[in-house]
C-alpha cells in the first residue's frame, strides 16, 4: 500500500522521486528500492515522506483514506511563521527550488 500511496502523491503534486530524495535527504536508491524490490521504509523515513507531502504516516501506510493535516506543536518566531506561510502557498516545484537555494545559502 505504501508504494501505491507514494506514487499517487508523486502524480498529484507533479513531483519526482529525485525531488523527494533531495528534499528529505533519503537516498534516491533507497526510494527506488521501495518500488523495485518491495522493501519498506523505516519509521524515520516514513515521517520524512509524510512531512514532505504534508500527509499522515497512517495515510502513507494505508491505515486511513483521510490524508489528514499534519501539525507540529512548537513555538515559532514571527519570522519563522511568515516563512512557513509563504512556503505553504508554494507549489511542490517552488518548494524544491527554495529548499535548494536555502541549502546553498547555508553552506
Q: pLDDT exceeding 90 applies to what percent of the chain? A: 10
Q: What is the pTM of this model?
A: 0.59
pLDDT at 72 over 60: no
Copy the grid coordinates of residue 27: 537516498
Q: 21-43, pLDDT tens digit by residue?
A: 988 899 999 999 988 888 888 98
How far apart are alpha carbons 34 and 13 in whole angstroms?
A: 19
Please tell me the predicted confidence (pLDDT) of residue 85: 85
Q: Which homologous superfamily does the CATH classification assign to the domain defined by 2-60?
A: lambda repressor-like DNA-binding domains (1.10.260.40)
How far apart are alpha carbons 83 and 92 in whole angstroms?
A: 15
* Average pLDDT of the residues in 4-10: 88
Under 8 Å between Cβ of 47 and 57: yes
- Parse the chain into domains and list their residue ranges: 2-60, 74-107
Amino acid at each position: 500500500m505504501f508504494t501505491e500511496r507514494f506514487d499517487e502523491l508523486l502524480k498529484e503534486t507533479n513531483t519526482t522521486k529525485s525531488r523527494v530524495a533531495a528534499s528529505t535527504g533519503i537516498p534516491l536508491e533507497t526510494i527506488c528500492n521501495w518500488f523495485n524490490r518491495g522493501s519498506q521504509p523505516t519509521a524515520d523515513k516514513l515521517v520524512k515522506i509524510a512531512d514532505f507531502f504534508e500527509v499522515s504516516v497512517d495515510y502513507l501506510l494505508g491505515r486511513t483514506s483521510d490524508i489528514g493535516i499534519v501539525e507540529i506543536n512548537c513555538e515559532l518566531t514571527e519570522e519563522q511563521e511568515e516563512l512557513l506561510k509563504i512556503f505553504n502557498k508554494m507549489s511542490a516545484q517552488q518548494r524544491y527550488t527554495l529548499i535548494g537555494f536555502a541549502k546553498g545559502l547555508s553552506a
